[in-house]
Amino acid sequence: GIQVEQSPPDLILQEGANSTLRCNFSDSVNNLQWFHQNPWGQLINLFYIPSGTKQNGRLSATTVATERYSLLYISSSQTTDSGVYFCAVAQTWGKNNAGNMLTFGGGTRLMVKP
């Protein structure tokens, strides 16, 4: 199956710093999503971005599908940004369009210090 690798696995930032998280995947995909898992375990949808660039406030993401990677940028980090960031991808699967089964990367554990 498809492999998804995220880097770095752990990241410690001082509040106000910027960061870039990377997601590499081993095959072509039809779906790529970035999530933030909060301390209670809830996965928050950040971006649905199989290709191109999107921005939402201090966060932005870029996926270069032809080179099989995606980047998540966090600017002016805040303590509330702490948590685990997951990248997940999906490939088209079967005739019943159940192609959204996601394969998750290992995650980047971010800690933002005040």
Partner 1 sequence: GAVVSQHPSWVICKSGTSVKIECRSLDFQATTMFWYRQFPKQSLMLMATSNEGSKATYEQGVEKDKFLINHASLTLSTLTVTSAHPEDSSFYICSAGTGERDHEQYFGPGTRLTVT
Task: Write out the residues near partner 1 by the rule CB under 8 A.
Answer: 30-31, 33, 35, 40-43, 45, 48, 50, 86, 88, 90, 92, 96-107
Report the nearest approach of partner 1 to the CB of residue 48 (Å): 4
Q: Bridge-partner residues for 62, per DSSP?
A: 53, 71
Which is nearer to partner 1, 16 or 99 (by Cβ)?
99
DSSP E strands, the chain: 4-7, 10-14, 19-25, 31-37, 43-48, 52-56, 59-64, 69-74, 83-90, 103-104, 108-113
We find the least distance from the C-beta atom of residue 112 to partner 1, in angstroms, to be: 18
Q: Which of 88, 102, 108 is nearest to 13 (CA)?
A: 108
Q: What 3-state DSSP class applies to 80?
A: helix
Of 15 and 27, which CB lies nearer to partner 1 in the complex structure? 27
Q: Please, what is the minimum distance in Å from the beta carbon of residue 70 to partner 1? A: 14
Query: Cβ 83 to partner 1, closest distance in Å?
Result: 13
Sign of the dihedral through C-alpha 48, 28, 61, 85: positive
Cβ closest to partner 1, residue 1 vs residue 114: 1
Q: Which is nearer to partner 1, 62 or 103 (CB)?
A: 103
